Amino acid sequence: MDCIRIASGQGFWGDLLTAPVDQLTKGPIDYLVMDYLAEVTMSILQKQKKKDPALGYARDLIPLMEQILPLLSARNVKVVTNAGGVNPLACRDAIFDVARRIGISPLKIGVVRGDDILGQLEELALAGVLLDSMETGDKLATVIDRVSSANVYFGAAPIAEALARGADIVITGRTTDTGLTLAPMIHEFGWRSDEWDKLAAGTVAGHVLECGGQASGGNFAADWRAVPDLAHIGFPIAEASPDGSVVITKHKGTGGLVSQQTIKEQLLYEIGDPTTYITPDCIADFTTIRLADDGPDRVRLSGIKGRPATDSYKVSMSYLDGYTAHATLTYAWPDAVEKAEAADRILRTRLADLGLRFDEIRTELLGVNSCHGPLAPRPDIVGEVVLRIGVRGREKGAVERFGKEIAPLILTGPPGVTGFAGGRPKPSEVVAYWPALIPKSALRPNVIMEEQ
């Protein structure tokens, strides 16, 4: 194909539910890509799978598929999504169930597996694969008994393989966000695995699309008031060409805004060294990106340079690291801030008197300093302020006792207090992040195809 239109349908699990339907009904597209996963999501999905082996994927996808499967079939649109989480086969089977129920046939689904290495950590360690923390250099052995998820970031190649084998839908586990968009380009244009500039261009396009409406006027810092009709925002679409040039746009008649500034803000999102944006597919140099207007709500990306991929995959692991709880109380004028600060001192004194020890106690005054901390200027008059205090510690009992010290502040602390209606805060597990690298030679993705 001379040009393919790849549409972003979800930027995270919990994103705008109407976006995928809008992308399919408000204009032509060839691919719908949907990103559901974040680092913490994997640990949540592992917990769900542990309780029920049929779970462990983004369940929002299934009712969505009931809506869009007829549209996908009628418009010959393919779907690429990482909604498979830690159980992509169960996700596939749930989609097949929907397809049978509503009479969609034939349907061919490709599943990319092999990223979930939770059950292989000890075996990998015996083979000399260390998985030390990239951030601290600590040894995995120090937390291995508390690891709750471990997933390798695969790239676009196995998705492109599934598409080449005729998949209508490709479901993956932990795949790079950019790989979801790059894969259709590799498949359609036949890009080689060493065409670094083209791969980098597709990677940059994937970076623009990965957060959904954030590239088309959502969360727009430069001039959010200038964005029209955010209530009906159109999610971004990448019009990709075989030479690696890409135009970012959205469907005509939808809200939002695609401009050089909205694209620039998204390009700066979650990057470190802009010359070295590392993915499993290539290294992209963001400083080579050139932007140009290409008409209303159309921005052309060109000139992008890439370099050879590294010999490693990134591994995203999570582990249990104690407990946390937090509570809020609202203090009213007059002297709202002074009352909240006094309540904080009283509570901390009582916790110390009880001999409770925590790794961290954090207090915020919402509306006063919760965003900017000590840098925030204090207003002269505050009508009301919300005291939010939280604790984190290794002992569940201490965190639980903290929750029992909140309600007494109502009658034994400063006056003018309200907002305590949800009961005692209960301890919840702290999920900590452990990033690591693994040699690509240590494992391979596996593509499974099935048709019904």
The Cα 310–Cα 80 span in angstroms is 24
Is 133 contained in some domain?
Answer: no
Helices (runs of H) and strands (runs of E) counted in the chain: 12, 19
Q: Are residues 292 and 181 in the same domain?
A: yes
Is 124 contained in some domain?
Answer: no
Q: Is the peptide bond before 377 cis (omega within 30 degrees of 0)?
A: no
Report the sign of the C-alpha dihedral through residues 25, 26, 27, 30, in that order. negative
Q: How many domains is the chain built from? A: 2
Q: Are residues 306 and 189 in the same domain?
A: yes
The Cα 264–Cα 247 span in angstroms is 14
| DSSP bridge partners of 389 | 327, 363
Give the Cβ contact number of residue 5 at 10 Å: 21
Task: Report residue 150 as tokens.
Answer: 């471990």
Alpha carbon of residue 217 to chain centroid: 18
Task: Report residue 298 as tokens.
Answer: 């159309």
Classified as helix, coil or strand, 266 is helix
Asked which of 251, 280, 310 is the last residue of a domain, the reply is 310
Is 147 contained in some domain?
Answer: no
Give the Cβ contact number of residue 238 at 10 Å: 27
In total, the chain counts a number of residues equal to 452
Burial of 195: CB neighbours in 10 Å, binned 0-12, 13-18, 19+ = middle
Is 426 contained in some domain?
Answer: yes
Contact predicate 439/398, CB 8 Å? no
Q: Are residues 324 and 293 in the same domain?
A: no
- pLDDT given for residue 380 in this prediction: 83
Is 81 contained in some domain?
Answer: yes
Q: Are residues 278 and 194 in the same domain?
A: yes
CA distances from 375 to 7, 221, 288, 368, 371 (A): 41, 20, 35, 10, 9
Task: Report residue 303 as tokens.
Answer: 């000139």
CATH of the domain at 387: 3.30.70
- pLDDT given for residue 342 in this prediction: 98
Q: Are residues 244 and 108 in the same domain?
A: yes
| DSSP bridge partners of 386 | 330, 366
Contact predicate 30/1, CB 8 Å? yes
Alpha carbon of residue 50 to chain centroid: 22
- pLDDT given for residue 378 in this prediction: 85
Q: Are residues 263 and 397 in the same domain?
A: no
Q: Are residues 298 and 333 in the same domain?
A: no
- pLDDT given for residue 40 in this prediction: 84
The separation between the first and the last C-alpha atoms of the chain, rounded to the nearest angstrom, is 27
- pLDDT given for residue 46 in this prediction: 93
In 3D, which of 231, 184, 215, 204 has the Cα closest to residue 80? 184
**Placement of tokens 């586990």 in the chain:** 173
Q: Are residues 376 and 277 in the same domain?
A: no
Q: Are residues 249 and 361 in the same domain?
A: no
Task: Report residue 147 as tokens.
Answer: 């690891």
Q: Are residues 305 and 328 in the same domain?
A: no
In 3D, which of 238, 246, 213 has the Cα closest to residue 7? 238
Contact predicate 30/59, CB 8 Å? no
Residue stretches of the chain with pLDDT short of 50 = none
Is 290 contained in some domain?
Answer: yes
Q: Are residues 284 and 183 in the same domain?
A: yes
Is 236 contained in some domain?
Answer: yes
Domain that holds residue 387: 320-432
Is 437 contained in some domain?
Answer: no
- Using left for φ > 0, alpha for ψ between -120 and 50, and beta otherwise, residue 170 falls in beta
User: At residue 154, what is the residue type?
Assistant: F
- pLDDT given for residue 423 in this prediction: 87
Q: Are residues 254 and 337 in the same domain?
A: no
Task: Report residue 111 as tokens.
Answer: 């599943």
H or E segment at 96?
Answer: helix 88-102
φ/ψ (deg, to 5) at 193? -75, -5
